[in-house]
């Protein structure tokens, strides 16, 4: 019987993960199945879903909203990325033990630095948002060589707290600051502006100073499959040189999980090409 994997979330019908991992398995000749499991809307239910899946031959899972925090709590061992993010997006069953990883930040960095070929070394990064996705991105961006990261959030105190909490983990070469969305800190020149808010899901624009996006080499929206989001439109109007959505990040984090589970890293470019929607 092939090894079983799954993505667990709620809702989950929209998930691209079964398609992505199916393509990876086909391309690498790995014998596995990958399904989508609805974890339900009751908090605290993830442990039971995991136990049932493992008892039925499950080897590992991806975890998406709203279970990323609970996933970390269910694990007996977690890597630094998951511990710092306070959340896990991939689990592996090793006998009775559950191991946790968070590959979202690694996926983002690889998409920017490798797929989009925008250098992060010494880059000035504006990171919009202070939720789970932003949390997971800070240290990977710093470790990839970013020289300065300004975290800006609608609720400014959350951004300042994140900057305070993460500064010790970023290393000496990376300065981190927190601010509100409309503050002066955002007026400087940036090399990369990343939208890690969920505003684009609701079709909402961000109250940003135009200067923060003017001529920026890369404006990146973590949301994917929605074409030109309000944020990407703002960036385009401000003269951003390149626009990208988060489909590459999604595929890259999936490839990291696949490699962790199976010991073989699939090629991502053909899968990104198949899933990408035009930014119009
Ligand atoms: P989250 O924890 O719920 O955080 C949401 C963030 O968005 C908060 O900082 C919130 O600000 C901000 N926000 C929401 N509506 C806003 C608005 N109208 N104007 C300004 N700010 C607003 O969500 P998350 O887990 O971090 O996810 C954020 C986004 O990243 C989602 O859209 C998700 O789809 C995407 N994502 C993509 C990938 C990928 O693989 N491409 C992976 C992970 C996440 P306040 O603190 O002020 O409420």
In a domain, 253, yes or no: no
Per-residue model confidence (pLDDT) at position 137? 97
State which of 102, 132, 157 marks the end of a domain. Answer: 102
Confidence of residue 96 (pLDDT cuts 50, 70, 90): confident
149 and 45 in a common domain? no
**In ligand 1, which atom is closest to the CA atom of 104?**
42
- Which residue's C-alpha comes closest to atom 15 of ligand 1? 199
CB of 196 shorter than 6 A to ligand 1: yes
**In ligand 1, which atom is closest to the CA atom of 132?**
26
Residue 48 CB neighbours (<10 A): 12
36 and 120 in a common domain? no
CATH number at residue 177: 3.40.50.720
Strand partners, 101: 90
CATH number at residue 19: 3.40.50.10860
In a domain, 179, yes or no: yes
| Domain range enclosing 128 | 105-247
In a domain, 268, yes or no: no
In a domain, 265, yes or no: no
- Which residue's C-alpha comes closest to atom 6 of ligand 1? 197
State which of 80, 102, 124 marks the end of a domain. Answer: 102
- Which residue's C-alpha comes closest to atom 37 of ligand 1? 222
CB of 153 shorter than 6 A to ligand 1: yes
153 and 90 in a common domain? no
CB of 231 shorter than 6 A to ligand 1: no
The preferred substitution site among 129, 193, 212 for testing ligand 1, maximizing ligand atoms within 8 Å of CB, is: 129
Q: With 80 as the cut, is the pLDDT of residue 181 above it? A: yes
Query: Of 39-48, 226-235, 242-251, where does mean pLDDT reach its minimum?
Result: 39-48
199 and 179 in a common domain? yes
Q: Is residue 172 among the annotated active site residues?
A: no
33 and 163 in a common domain? no
Q: β-strand 97-101 against 77-78: which pairing, if any? A: parallel
> Which segments of the chain are extended strands (E)?
3-9, 32-38, 58-63, 77-78, 90-94, 97-101, 124-128, 148-153, 175-180, 192-195, 218-221, 243-244
Q: How many domains does the chain have?
A: 2
pTM of the predicted model as reported, rounded to 2 decimal places: 0.96
CB of 122 shorter than 6 A to ligand 1: no
202 and 153 in a common domain? yes
The preferred substitution site among 116, 155, 196 for testing ligand 1, maximizing ligand atoms within 8 Å of CB, is: 196
In a domain, 187, yes or no: yes
Q: What is the pLDDT of residues 115-146, one digit of tens each?
A: 999 999 999 999 999 999 999 999 999 999 99
Per-residue model confidence (pLDDT) at position 187? 76
- In the block, residue with structure tokens 């090629």: 267
Q: With 80 as the cut, is the pLDDT of residue 184 above it? A: no
Confidence of residue 255 (pLDDT cuts 50, 70, 90): very high
137 and 48 in a common domain? no
CB of 91 shorter than 6 A to ligand 1: no
Q: Is 27 within 8 Å of 19 (Cβ atoms)?
A: no
190 and 132 in a common domain? yes
In a domain, 274, yes or no: no
In a domain, 17, yes or no: yes
Confidence of residue 248 (pLDDT cuts 50, 70, 90): very high
Q: What is the pLDDT of residues 138-179, one digit of tens each?
A: 999 999 999 999 999 999 999 999 999 999 999 889 999 999
32 and 127 in a common domain? no
E strand or H helix at 46: helix 46-55
Q: Is 120 exposed, middle or buried (0-12, 13-18, 19+ CB in 10 A)?
A: buried
State which of 102, 122, 149 marks the end of a domain. Answer: 102
Confidence of residue 218 (pLDDT cuts 50, 70, 90): very high
**In ligand 1, which atom is closest to the CA atom of 154?**
47
**In ligand 1, which atom is closest to the CA atom of 200?**
32
140 and 15 in a common domain? no
110 and 78 in a common domain? no
In a domain, 181, yes or no: yes
227 and 170 in a common domain? yes
Mean pLDDT, the chain, rounded, equals: 95
């Amino acid at each position: 019987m092939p090894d079983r994997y799954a993505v667990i979330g709620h809702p989950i019908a929209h998930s691209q993960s079964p398609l992505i991992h199916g393509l990876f398995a086909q391309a690498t000749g790995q014998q596995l199945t990958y399904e989508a499991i609805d974890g339900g809307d009751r908090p605290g239910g993830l442990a039971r879903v995991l136990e049932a899946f493992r008892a039925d031959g499950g080897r590992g899972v991806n975890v998406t909203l709203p279970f990323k925090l609970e996933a970390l709590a269910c694990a007996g061992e977690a890597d630094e990325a998951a511990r710092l993010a306070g959340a896990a997006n991939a689990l592996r069953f090793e006998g009775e033990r559950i191991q946790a990883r968070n590959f979202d930040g690694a996926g983002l960095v690889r998409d920017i630095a490798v797929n989009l070929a925008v250098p992060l070394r010494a880059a000035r990064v504006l990171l919009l948002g202070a939720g789970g996705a932003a949390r997971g991105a800070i240290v990977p961006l710093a470790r990839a060589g970013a020289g300065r990261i300004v975290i800006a959030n609608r609720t400014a105190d959350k951004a300042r707290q994140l900057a305070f909490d993460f500064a010790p983990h970023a290393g000496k070469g990376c300065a981190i600051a927190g601010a509100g969305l409309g503050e002066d800190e955002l007026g400087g020149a940036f090399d990369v502006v990343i939208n890690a808010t969920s505003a684009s899901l609701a079709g909402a624009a961000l109250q940003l100073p135009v200067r923060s996006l003017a001529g920026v080499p890369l404006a990146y929206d973590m949301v994917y499959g929605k074409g030109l989001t309000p944020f990407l439109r703002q960036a385009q109007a401000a003269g951003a040189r390149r626009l990208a959505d988060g489909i590459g990040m999604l595929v890259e984090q999936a490839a990291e999980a696949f490699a962790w589970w199976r010991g073989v890293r699939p090629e991502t470019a053909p899968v990104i090409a198949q899933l990408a929607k035009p930014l119009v």
